[in-house]
C-alpha cells in the first residue's frame, strides 16, 4: 500500500489522485467493517478517499479530502459506501448532509487534517457495518499498526484498487519522522505533535486514494491518513493523531459518551442481529 499526498495539489482529486496502499495484500472479506469509501456522484461514482464510521450518522476522514471548491459548494456530491471489501460490490450507500472541517485546518502545511461528514440518514449496522473504536491515547513507538485502503496499488497505473488492501507498518517517533522528511527535502510539510508516523519501505505504503482512511492498532483507530512523499519512495506515512483530536470530535458530533459507546459497539459487533438503533440517537 502506498499512501501519498502531495501537499494539497491532490485535495479532492479523483481517479489519478488520492492515496492508496502499495505492496499490500487483499483484505479478508468484510473484516474491516468500519471502513468507508468516499465517492463523487458521477457517471462512474469514483472512489477518491477513505473514511471510518464512528457513529450512526458520522464519518471521520481527512480535511484535505473535502476541501476543494466543488465539494465545498455542494457537499451532496459525495456519497458514502460501507459494508464492502470490493468497490464493485453493491454496498450500503448514504448521501452526505453536511461536513465539519477543523477550524485550524491548514492546507499549506497540512496540519489539523481532520473532518467529519454527517450522513443524510442513519447508517444501518450489521456484521458487515460497524463503528470503529477511537483511541484515547497514543500507542508506544515500535508497535505494528494496520493500514487499509483502496488507493493505488501501482503508481504507474493510476488506478485505485477494487479490493480493499491491508498492510502493516511500524510506528516511529516524530523526531525520526521529521529527520526523514528533512533528509528527503520536502519543505513545507510539517510533522507536528498532532501527527503519528509510520515507517514505509521503498515500494510499499500509502498512495493516492488511501487518504482519510484509518490507521489501526489493537482494535482501535489511532490515525487518519494525511500525507507522505511520492508513492513508494520510502519516506514515512504521516497520520492525523486521533487521540489529540478526541475532544474536537466529541464537541462537533455531540457524542458525549464516546468511550462508553465504544464498549457497546464492541459487544454489539459480536451479534449481527442487534443494531445500534436501540441506543438513543441523541447520544450518537
Residues catalogued as catalytic = 64, 113, 211
Task: Dump strand ranges (E) for the chain.
Answer: 21-22, 25-26, 35-40, 47-53, 58-61, 78-82, 92-101, 115-119, 144-149, 165-172, 195-198, 205-206, 214-217, 220-227, 237-241
How far apart are alpha carbons 191 and 153 in whole angstroms?
25
Q: Indicate the SS3 state at residue 107.
A: coil
Q: How far apart are CA 129 and CA 277, in angstroms?
A: 13
Q: Which phi-psi region, left, alpha or beta, contains residue 129 (left: φ > 0; alpha: ψ -120 to 50)?
A: beta
Set of cell numbers at residue 275: 443494531
Cα torsion angle, 142, 250, 120, 103, sign: negative
Amino acid at each position: 500500500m502506498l499512501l501519498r499526498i502531495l501537499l494539497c495539489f491532490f485535495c479532492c482529486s479523483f481517479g489519478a489522485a488520492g492515496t492508496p496502499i502499495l505492496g499490500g495484500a487483499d483484505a479478508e472479506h468484510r473484516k474491516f467493517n468500519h471502513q468507508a469509501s468516499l465517492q463523487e456522484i458521477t457517471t462512474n461514482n469514483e472512489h477518491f478517499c477513505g473514511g471510518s464510521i464512528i457513529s450512526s450518522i458520522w464519518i471521520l476522514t481527512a480535511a484535505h479530502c473535502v476541501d476543494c471548491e466543488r465539494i465545498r459548494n455542494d457537499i451532496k456530491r459525495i456519497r458514502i459506501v460501507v459494508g464492502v471489501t470490493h468497490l464493485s460490490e453493491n454496498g450500503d450507500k448514504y448521501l452526505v448532509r453536511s461536513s465539519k472541517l477543523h477550524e485550524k485546518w491548514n492546507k499549506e502545511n497540512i496540519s489539523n487534517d481532520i473532518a467529519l461528514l454527517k450522513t443524510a440518514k442513519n447508517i444501518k449496522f450489521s456484521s458487515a457495518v460497524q463503528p470503529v473504536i477511537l483511541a484515547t491515547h497514543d500507542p508506544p513507538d515500535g508497535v505494528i499498526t494496520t493500514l487499509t485502503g483502496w488507493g493505488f496499488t501501482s503508481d504507474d497505473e493510476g488506478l485505485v484498487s477494487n479490493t480493499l488492501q491491508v498492510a502493516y507498518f511500524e510506528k516511529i517517533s516524530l523526531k525520526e519522522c521529521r529527520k526523514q522528511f528533512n533528509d528527503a527535502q520536502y519543505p513545507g510539510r510539517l510533522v507536528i505533535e498532532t501527527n503519528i508516523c509510520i515507517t514505509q519501505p521503498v515500494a510499499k505504503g500509502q498512495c493516492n486514494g488511501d487518504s482519510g482512511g484509518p490507521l489501526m492498532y489493537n482494535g482501535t483507530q489511532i490515525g487518519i491518513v494525511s500525507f507522505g512523499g511520492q508513492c513508494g519512495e520510502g519516506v514515512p506515512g504521516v497520520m492525523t493523531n486521533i487521540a489529540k483530536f478526541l475532544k474536537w470530535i466529541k464537541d462537533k458530533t455531540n457524542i458525549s459518551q464516546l468511550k462508553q459507546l465504544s464498549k457497546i459497539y464492541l459487544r454489539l459487533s459480536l451479534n449481527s442481529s442487534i443494531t445500534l438503533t436501540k441506543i438513543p440517537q441523541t447520544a450518537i
